[in-house]
Structure 1
Amino acid sequence: MHMADALISPVVGGTLWAATAGMTAYCATKISKEKNDSLDSYKIENYEKKIPLMGVMGAFVFASQMINFTIPGTGSSGHIGGGILLASLLGPEAGFLTIASVLLIQCLFFADGGLLAYGCNVINMGFFACFIAYPLIYKKIMKGNYTTSKIFISSILSVVIGLQLGAFGVVMETLVSGISELPFSTFVALMQPIHLAIGLVEGILTGCVLSFVYNARPELLDNKQKEGGKMTFKGIVTTLAVITLIIGGGLSLVASSNPDGLEWAIFNVTGKEELKSDSKTSEVLSGIQETTAFLPDYSFKDSEGEVGTTVSGIVGSAITLGVCALVGIGLHKSKQKSHKAN
């Protein structure tokens, strides 16, 4: 559901860039100023452990988004958004910062999603999942004792709701932008059902990952849970890193070639998978993106083939892991300074 620049006006794009910047500042500030004196030493140590987890989960989401799964009977495909998965393991603030980092890397280095539309994509795929669906759906269902069935139910419902809000956000953003080629009633009638199907698949996949993590290290999902489980923390991080490498370097080769839900909806409305923009702002930003994207569309420039996809999956996952880990380290150091000052 990565929006292209042609789907929005500069005003809408700029407004949601500002909203994304504001949310980023809010998340960073809240994490750094969270009071450790209200936590016991175990919870502080558990917080510090999430720094490497932030890196590996960012890489995992990056790699997973490269795998489009077919939606039977539609001619469309979908990929995971990852917002609920990240919020469940890292918390909503760190989850939002991670998905924002993933989307920025995809945009700048792989030309996946427009630069003008970056703020829209972060709000649609990050904000709705991390700050609406996660606290209001996932956490409400997960109150009390954790069970595998509750994990699956909460994952499916929260992912579906979050993706429905994100899909409706796309429709509203095109409407406010005055994109007449995408009339509201027709566009929304296509966007919501196809993303319902995509959300159901993503919800099941999210439930599988969270169930694995909970059985391996339950304290990563439930801060009240003391350490225990079938794997060490290092083991689970290593396992997720290996899975990420397999997904990015291998499974990405068998991704569906069908258009994703957004492209499918646009095609069924306009007869084209992509729209063109006459905006000077969009033209300038597209030029910047062409310069920074060394593997556009996850392939080598002016060439096609599986090698580019494999390299994109591995390199992109490595970059994402490093960036997200650095973000986590920066937040942790800021948190330490904040407590020393107090």
Structure 2
Amino acid sequence: METVAMHIANGIVDGPVSALFAAVAVIALAFCVWRARIDLDDRLAPMAGLVAAFIFAVQMLNFQVLPGVSGHLLGGTLAVVLVGPWVGALCVSTVLIVQCLLFADGGLTALGLNITNMALVGTAAGYLLVAGLMRVLPKTPGGVGATAFVGSVVGVVVASQAFVFEYWLGGTTELSLATIAGTMAGVHTLIGVGEGLIAATTVATVARVRPDLVYALRRFRTQPAIVPVPVAGGVA
């Protein structure tokens, strides 16, 4: 039986481009660690562990897209909704590193590419969309679930196109760029819908039971307006 590797395998993108994105991943993750120290507290730290474990489980659902390249649920938007962008990126990165080193899911030389695509680009795209939607949608379980769904679809597709860009820079096969872009976009749109349903259900459930554990609800909740209070001689 043929073994289908998860993520980008070794040799799909050439050495110099792989090394470039390895450096990008290291620098970006160092910045995430620095920023995550501000957010982490007694409530967020255990939640981050649970999120990483959940993402690890859902990423085991794997679909081959191209030779040496596979598609699967990413979990980046789910992570940013529950634990924020910096901790969320670290959660996804941790999962990718464990999968690569312990289970040979994705090539070691392609680890920087996979982290860039899934933990950084996909997560950032999902977070930007969530940040915009949470400012206009109701801060309710249904509202945060809707943002998770839309952010998941967009984040997964954007991450897939990041691979297309990397392949354009240093692809080693004879596949046409248009074919790769179309295939990746089409398959990952379907994957994004599936991921969006899982993310929406998960975050809406958590929001109903423990809304204080949902980062997006805490971060983007409506701030109360400051109303001047009349006092003797003026207002306060």
Shorter-chain TM-score bucket reads 0.7 to 0.9
Q: Which residue of 2 aligns with 1:63?
A: 57
Matches of 1:168 and 1:69 in 2, distance apart? 17
Alpha-carbon shift at residue 129 of structure 1 (Å): 2.7
Residues 134 and 220, structure 2, Cα contact 8 Å, conserved in 1: no
Matches of 2:135 and 2:41 in 1, distance apart? 20
Q: Which has the higher contact order (CA 8 A, sep 6+)?
A: 1
- Equivalences for 1:54-133 in 2 at 5 Å? 54-68=48-62, 79-133=72-126
Q: Would the alpha carbon gap of residues 83 and 225 (structure 1) be closer, same or farther in structure 2, given more than 3 Å must change?
A: closer
Answering whether residue 209 of structure 2 is matched by residue 223 of structure 1, we say no
For residue 204 of structure 2, the aligned residue among 203, 206, 211 is 211
Q: Which residue of 1 aligns with 2:30?
A: 25
Matches of 2:189 and 2:47 in 1, distance apart? 29
For residue 164 of structure 1, the aligned residue among 145, 157, 178 is 157
Q: Which residue of 1 aligns with 2:142?
A: 149
Aligned length: 209
1:4 match: secondary structure = coil
Residue by residue, what CA displacement relative to the aligned partner does 1:118-140 show, whole Å, maximum 9, x if unpaired? 11111111112322321x21121
Of Structure 1 and Structure 2, the greater helix share is in: 1
Residues 174 and 182, structure 1, Cα contact 8 Å, conserved in 2: no
1:112 match: secondary structure = coil
Residues 76 and 126, structure 2, Cα contact 8 Å, conserved in 1: no
Question: Percent identity, aligned pairs only?
Answer: 32
Residues 13 and 166, structure 2, Cα contact 8 Å, conserved in 1: yes
Q: Would the alpha carbon gap of residues 177 and 78 (structure 1) be closer, same or farther in structure 2, given more than 3 Å must change?
A: closer
Q: Would the alpha carbon gap of residues 22 and 78 (structure 1) be closer, same or farther in structure 2, given more than 3 Å must change?
A: closer
Q: Which residue of 2 aligns with 1:200?
A: 193
Alpha-carbon shift at residue 78 of structure 1 (Å): 5.1
Answering whether residue 8 of structure 2 is matched by residue 3 of structure 1, we say yes
Matches of 1:86 and 1:64 in 2, distance apart? 12
Q: Would the alpha carbon gap of residues 210 and 142 (structure 1) be closer, same or farther in structure 2, given more than 3 Å must change?
A: same
Q: Which residue of 1 aligns with 2:169?
A: 176
Letter in 1 for 2:42: E
Matches of 1:190 and 1:78 in 2, distance apart? 11
Answering whether residue 143 of structure 2 is matched by residue 138 of structure 1, we say no
Residues 93 and 130, structure 1, Cα contact 8 Å, conserved in 2: no
Q: Which residue of 1 aligns with 2:233?
A: none
Answering whether residue 21 of structure 2 is matched by residue 16 of structure 1, we say yes
1:101 match: secondary structure = helix
When normalised by structure 2's length, the TM-score is 0.81
Q: Would the alpha carbon gap of residues 4 and 60 (structure 1) be closer, same or farther in structure 2, given more than 3 Å must change?
A: same
Letter in 1 for 2:36: I
Alpha-carbon shift at residue 206 of structure 1 (Å): 0.3
Alpha-carbon shift at residue 225 of structure 1 (Å): 9.8
Residue by residue, what CA displacement relative to the aligned partner does 1:6-62 show, whole Å, maximum 9, x if unpaired? 211111111111011001110111233x3xxxxxxxxx8x83211111112111111
Residues 219 and 225, structure 1, Cα contact 8 Å, conserved in 2: no
2:82 match: secondary structure = helix
Q: Would the alpha carbon gap of residues 189 and 31 (structure 1) be closer, same or farther in structure 2, given more than 3 Å must change?
A: closer
1:5 match: secondary structure = coil
Letter in 1 for 2:132: K
Q: Would the alpha carbon gap of residues 47 and 129 (structure 1) be closer, same or farther in structure 2, given more than 3 Å must change?
A: farther
Letter in 1 for 2:23: A
Matches of 1:132 and 1:225 in 2, distance apart? 17
Matches of 2:135 and 2:162 in 1, distance apart? 29
Q: Which residue of 2 aligns with 1:230?
A: none
Letter in 2 for 1:137: L
